[in-house]
Copies of this chain bind each other. A is one copy, B any other.
Amino acid sequence: MSRELADPAADIEIDREEDLEDLALGEDYALNPQFVSMVVDAADRGDSDRLRELLSALHPADVADLIGFLAADDRKEILPHLDPEALAEILSELDYEIREEILEAVSPEVLARALGELDSDDAADVVEDLEDHKRAEVLAALPEGERAAIESALSYGEETAGRLMQREVVAAPQFWTVGQAIDHFRREADDLPELFFDVYVVDPAYKPVGAVPISTLLRSRRDVPLAQIMESLSEIPVDMDQEEVAYIFDKYHLISAPVVEPGGRLVGQITVDDIVGVIHEESREDILALAGVSDSGRHGGVWDMVASRLPWLLLNTLTAALAVSVIQAFEAQIAKVVTLAVLMPIVASLGGNGATQTLTVAVRALASRELSAVNAVRTVSREMLVGLVNGGVLAVVTGVAIYLVFGDLRLCAAFGAAIIINMFVAAVAGALVPLALERMGRDPAVSSAVFVTFVTDFTGFFAFLGIAALILL
């Protein structure tokens, strides 16, 4: 074929692909519903060529999104049309429940080939989700080295640096020069990680003593010794909690960091793209925990969702029952002045809202370490002051409204006093409970809200009904 004939054809091919890419994603990088239905149609017709064409227009992360949007039957239709490399990347992007389903449907041999394409940390993530019998088959189908790497990754505790790290690192001895290092990398190109950002300089015992960002390597003269341009490093112990690792990356703006064994030997590295995932995960956990949703039911079926939420609701039923027992003690007073029953929920509700505000700010500040033993006293005092001020303003505003509606100054006084007391108690509980839980080594996001809401409900009812009983009746 002459060059003149080949070129226009290639252009058309490229144009078509670009058209599909443009069609696949909307302006906001979300999948187009229209593109999704094209995939569903092709899957329903069993049109392999069309499916392959459509899927090849997508980044693996978008294929993962697409798979998440499809019904289970259409998902199965798509699987055979993914090549192992793409399958590997898609697997590490998929949500837990859908990944489980896909893993079931793929043969151990295909899985093993796909895992070979991944870094050890991502491969271990996938293997972890396999059921026992399948895990053994997949591991057996892997080459020796990769199996060892994955098994070693899985030997570290969940949510630790060891689990997060990849074993693939680029290390160089202290006495090398820039030129020696670059020549070595060219020779050993195939053994290097696909992407890396720092060269770790190690001593003879393979302990990291410094890091050379590869952009520094690129601009330095060939005869400069690595020891001269290396920077100090933040070593990550292999058993450090991933939340701590994320904190260090964020604080020191790290792109990668060496992971070391207890003896100080370099065993792997963590890169910032893993950390972005951790930050998302941790903030998701915090925000859901504050709302009383446990992690079990993320994308699962209705029963998983029920399991993730019902325990919290039952616990709240119990504390609500305790709080309303206060009301029972004042039944006689309420029977005389029913308006008390109308107004008491407002006192409890405002206290609950005030407590949630303080609590959320405190939980966030603890997570980002803006709140610690150093400034705890100052923080709590400020919260108490804010509670008093907010309580005062709310007492005046609601007091005026109550006087206008009910024309009763004593009711108005009881309500105002109860609001101030409850907003103050809300501030104290909202700040102290998470601090106390943190000090006890518990996650303040998980268990604070139920305590604090009970305290403000109880206080709200007791303060309002008690004061009213004293001055009204």
Contacts and interface: CB of A to CB of B under 8 A. Distances in A.
A350 B316 contact: yes
Contacts of A273: 253-255, 272
A394 B313 contact: yes
Contacts of A383: 305
Contacts of A248: 29
Interface string A378-401: 000011011001100110011001
A212 B280 CA distance: 28
A302 B386 contact: yes
Interface in A345-378: 345-346, 348-350, 353-354, 356-357, 359-361, 364, 368-370, 372-375
Interface residues of A, number: 119
A288 B360 contact: yes
Interface of A: 28-31, 33, 36, 59, 61-62, 65, 68-69, 95, 182, 185-186, 188-189, 192-197, 213-215, 217-221, 244, 247-255, 272-273, 275-277, 279-280, 283-284, 286-288, 290-293, 299, 301-302, 305-306, 309-310, 312-314, 316-317, 320-321, 323-325, 327-328, 331, 334-335, 338-339, 341-346, 348-350, 353-354, 356-357, 359-361, 364, 368-370, 372-375, 382-383, 385-386, 389-390, 393-394, 397-398, 401, 457, 461
Dominant secondary structure at the A interface: helix
Nearest to A419: B317
Most-contacted residue by chain B among A290, A309, A343, A389 (CB, 10 A): A309
Sorted nearest first, the 3 A-B pairs with minimum C-beta distance are A291-B360, A283-B283, A341-B341
Nearest to A282: B283
Contacts of A306: 386, 389-390, 393
Given A324-B345, A346-B324, A272 B255 contact: yes
Contact of A305 (B194, B279, B317, B386): B386
A350 B288 contact: no
Contact of A244 (B29, B275, B341, B360): B29
